Amino acid sequence: MTDISKITLVELVTKIKSKQISAFEATNAYVERIKKSKKLNAFITETLDEALSSAKQIDKLNTKNGLLSGAPIAVKDLFCTKNVLTTASSKILKNFIPTYESTVTSKLWDEGAILLGKLNCDEFAMGSSNETSAYGNVINPYKSSKDELVPGGSSGGCSAAVAGNLTSATVGTDTGGSIRQPASFTGIVGFKPTYGRCSRWGIVAFASSLDQAGPMTKDVADSALMLDVITGYDEKDSTSANIKKEEFLKSLNKNIKGLKVGIPKEYIVDNMPKAIQSLWEKGVQLMKDSGAIIKNVSLPHTKYALPTYYIVAPAEASSNLARYDGVRYGLRVPGKDLIEMYENTRAQGFGNEVKRRIMIGTYVLSSGYYDAYYLKAQQVRRLIKNDFDSVFNEVDTILTPTAPSSAFKIGAKTEDPISMYLNDVFTVPINLAGLPAISIPGGSDESGLPLGLQLIGKPFDEQTVLNAAYALEEKIEFKSNVNDWWF
């Protein structure tokens, strides 16, 4: 018998609709695995009993018209879920039960998906290894000899859950690489849509001009299906794009003959491991074999993207996180007066990385420093976007590696914040420019750990990115070798 947890989302939904598998069987298959996978620490909250009874209900009423009918799905704990604990992996929200549902997750349930639980992530999505979570590290289902590895971040619970077959698919969020880098570290597909494609309403905000929700899935077709569900205009988010909804899965096409693919020379960085360089070269060759036209392009301001990001994102975060004051929800730590209560609450409620970013953000926005840092960063952000605008006059998509390394050991980069930030060197520019980009598994390094390739597209041209990824995926033939060692 096929292992239900290993089939793709598209296949699973087809089988549930045609009654080859019941929603209950599907849900139970995941529930059984989740129960045996505590070691990975991918979940902060499990809603397994509720999931099983929803599945029974779906089978009983035979309501299987949705795009995701009966698909068991866990989501990043950054999405507000009505009546289900939502922590953003922070102690400051350890008891926060939202009274409403985020737009993106409500679209999942409207299409018949079943909530399995809430997935661990870096605190307020600030991190690249899931080590800033107040709920502990997540363990990568991939292991190198005896060492346990990080699953990437910030959507590390998401990447571990998809790679470990603990959810049929998931939604994460990506502010500087938080969907794509963990996808690369765990051999799965992660898609960050164009800024404005998905509503941000009900997502715990980190950096509002950069945050975007997106799917993390077993393959490219699954991402197309998830995008069909979660994208769309929402009047509750003033930056949500008021444009026609597309049918990405239906339009998926692996014919990329004549597609113009840009290779940016600035993405060849110092100390890039050889495996990543050759993976990239292999990707170029495979696209050529599929009939694509390869062009060398230049994005001259690439090296300034990370410094720009580490001004813009903390500035926006310091403003967004001002709401956590111990008054209306979350943790409250008493003080002798109101101000001291705020200060004590925030000192005890936030972890170190979050405090660092609030402090940096407050500094660059403070009187006397605003022009020197924040305004300058916004000007450089314009230059970075201009680079992409001009390259996209010549090409349809850009191919790069997703991350400068494979998954690293837990604790390897926690001492030095900058070394952690460098993980996002290839993903951050895309958020600053607001573009869509996907990470797909491209191969493995010498230790057998997965490495991702990133395809970047023009604004709102997700379809070209998906098609290029679909073609590349077929040629690469990546196979997961996750072997359930933690059982």
User: Which residues does the annotation mark as catalytic?
Assistant: 76, 154, 178
Tell me the C-alpha distance between 424 and 306, whole Å.
8
C-alpha to C-alpha distances, 391 to 14, 144, 202, 394, 467, nearest whole angstrom: 40, 38, 34, 5, 19
Calpha distance 102→121 (Å, rounded): 17
CB-nearer residue toward another protein: 246 or 343: 343
Residue (64 or 376) nearer to another protein, CB: 376
**Structural contact between residues 238 and 370, judged by C-beta atoms closer than 8 angstroms:** no
**Cβ-based neighbours of 435, under 8 Å, separated by 6 or more:** 194, 195, 388, 456, 457, 458, 459
> In terms of CB distance, is 21 or 430 closer to another protein?
430
Q: How far is the CB of 243 from another protein (least distance, A)?
A: 9
Of the residues 201, 421, 460, 470, which one makes contact with another protein according to CB under 8 A = 421
Instruction: Answer yes or no whether residue 245 interacts with another protein by CB under 8 A.
Output: no
Cα–Cα dist 183/225, whole Å: 17
The CA-CA-CA angle for residues 232, 237, 242, to 5°, reads 45
Rule CB under 8 A: is residue 303 a binding residue for another protein? yes
Phi, psi of 32 (to 5 degrees): -60, -40
Stretch of residues binding another protein (CB under 8 A), selected from 249-257, 342-350, 441-449, 479-487: 342-350
Residue 343 CB, nearest approach to another protein (Å): 4
Region 225-244 residues binding another protein, contact defined as CB under 8 A: 235, 238-239, 241-242
Residues 156-195 that bind another protein (CB under 8 A): 195
Residue from 196, 202, 215, 232 in contact with another protein (CB under 8 A): 196
Residue 81 backbone dihedrals phi, psi, to 5 degrees? -120, 125
The single residue among 377, 407, 438, 472 that binds another protein, judged by CB under 8 A, is 377
Binding span for another protein by CB under 8 A among 268-276, 322-330, 447-455, 466-474: 322-330
Q: Residue 352 has which token pair?
A: 């170190």
Per CB under 8 A, the list member of 140, 217, 318, 423 interacting with another protein is 318
Is position 344 an interface residue for another protein (rule: CB under 8 A)?
yes
Contact residue for another protein among 39, 53, 291, 327 (CB under 8 A): 327
- The dihedral through the CA atoms of 94, 100, 103, 109 has a sign that is positive
By beta-carbon proximity to another protein, the closer residue of 33 and 458 is 458
Nearer to another protein, 64 or 355 (CB): 355
Summary count for the chain: helices (H), strands (E): 15, 13
Is position 383 an interface residue for another protein (rule: CB under 8 A)? yes
Closer to another protein by Cβ: residue 282 or 332: 332
Q: Which of 57, 285, 375, 394 binds another protein (CB under 8 A)?
A: 375
The correct pick among 79, 206, 310, 470 for binding another protein (CB under 8 A) is 310
Identity at 23, one-letter amino acid code: A
Q: Does 94 bind another protein (CB under 8 A)?
A: no
Asked whether position 385 contacts another protein by CB under 8 A, the answer is: yes
**Toward another protein, which CB reaches closer, 97 or 268?**
97
Q: How far apart are CA 245 and CA 359, in angstroms?
A: 40
Asked if 23 is part of the footprint of another protein (rule: CB under 8 A), the reply reads no
By CB under 8 A, residue 360 contacts another protein: yes
253 part of the interface to another protein, by CB under 8 A: no
**Start-to-end CA span in the chain (Å):** 20
Residue 57 as a binder of another protein (CB under 8 A): the answer is no
DSSP 196-261: TSS--TTBPPS-TTT-EEEEEESSHHHHHHHHHHH-S--TTSTTS-------TTTT-----TT-EE
User: Is residue 90 within the footprint of another protein (CB under 8 A)?
Assistant: no
User: CA separation (Å) from 309 to 122, 129, 189, 388?
Assistant: 17, 18, 24, 16
Minimum distance of another protein from residue 291's CB (angstroms): 32
Question: Tokens in use for 462?
Answer: 């997700």
Shortest spacing between CB 384 and another protein, in angstroms: 8
Q: In this chain, which of 293, 356, 461, 464 binds another protein, going by CB under 8 A?
A: 356
Q: Sign of dihedral through CA atoms 407, 408, 410, 414?
A: negative
